[in-house]
Structure formats: C-alpha cells, structure tokens
Amino acid sequence: MQLDKAIKSRRSIRKYKSLSPNWKDILEAIDSARYAPMAGNVFTLNFMLVDDKEKIEKIAVLSSQQFISEAKYLVLFLTDPSRTINAFGEVDGDKFCKQQAGAAIQNFLLKIEESELSTCWIGLFNERKIKQLLKIPEKYNIEALFPIGVAGEIPKDRNLRELDNFLHFNTFSNRRMKEIKKPEGRYPEGFK
C-alpha cells in the first residue's frame, strides 16, 4: 500500500469481526514505531501486547469503551519520561516524551492500515488500575491503548475541512502565500 493511500484511508474502527489477526503483522506494526524520531536519540518507549481475553475485557471496562472487548489483541504504548527528563529537564523532557510517543503511534497506525487490520486510538482510561492489572511499574506512563482486530464495519466517509482553514504563512493572520516578485531589469546574482 502506498503511504498516501494509507494516510487517507486510515480510520478509527470500533467493531471487529471474530477473525483473529496475524500477530506477526501486529509485531511488525509495533516495530515500525521504533523508527519514529526521538529527541536526542533518547528512546523512551515500551510496548505491551495483550492477548488474554479476560484482561482485554477488564481493560474495556476500565476504559468505559465496551467495544474494546471485541478485539483479539490490545497494544499499549508506554513511556518512561525519566529518560528525557534527565536529558532535557522537567518541562522539555515531558514534552519531548509525549511528542515522540505521538510520532511512534502514527508509524504504528499507518503500518496497521497497511496490514489491513483495524484499530482505534484510546486515550481515556483508568491508568492506575490498568497498570495494576498488567503489573506495569509506576515509572511508566500509558500513552495510549489500541484494540486490534479485523474491521467489522465500513467506516463513514470523512468530512474534512479545507486546508485553507488551518494554514498560515509567516504570521498567524496571513492566510495566503504571497507571490515573490523578482526585481525589474536585473536578475539576482547567479541567475540569468
């Protein structure tokens, strides 16, 4: 699948078929997250793959997202912010940790799409109780959860606003790219 197609066709899916995805495809998607940019090359990510049905069902309750229980697998993105905080200080370290998690998650989502699997980015959950359930050490943050399955629904078309609504040039109030005018009568040095 071409990158442009993966970007434009990726959707959040909340209904899954009873088919079990190939776990090797999921591992490849997780591996793709390692290639995301990392601040100062300080890698803070860890991943957890859960296939225990009982645990997935408990996490669905702890997330108030019942559809998660339909998934055959659940992937957690974990970060250890102490590594970037040690390298860059409290404010920047925490910010960089979240930024690199987001970049890694995008790689993961695109690889899931390429593998013709489906997921939905879950960011609202009871982190403390999920950490207890999965025995995740306190120093780690759970950045996001991803139930993985084979799509059991056809996603709706997106109603995207035009890029012009979000794009600014040089200053926030400037919404148009201005044409650069060349000087009359002579070319800049090196051009003819």
* Strand partners for 50: 74
- Listed in order, strand segments (DSSP E) in 124-165 are 141-148
Q: What does the pLDDT profile of the chain (192 residues) look like in tens digits?
A: 687 777 777 777 788 889 999 999 999 999 999 999 999 888 899 999 999 999 999 999 999 999 999 999 999 999 999 999 999 999 899 899 999 999 999 999 999 999 988 999 999 999 999 999 999 999 999 999 999 998 887 777 778 788 888 888 888 888 777 765 666 666 666 655
What is the reported pTM? Answer: 0.83
Tell me the domains of the chain and their CATH numbers: 3-148 (3.40.109.10)
User: DSSP labels for 33-66?
Assistant: HTTS--GGG---EEEEEE--HHHHHHHHHHTT-G
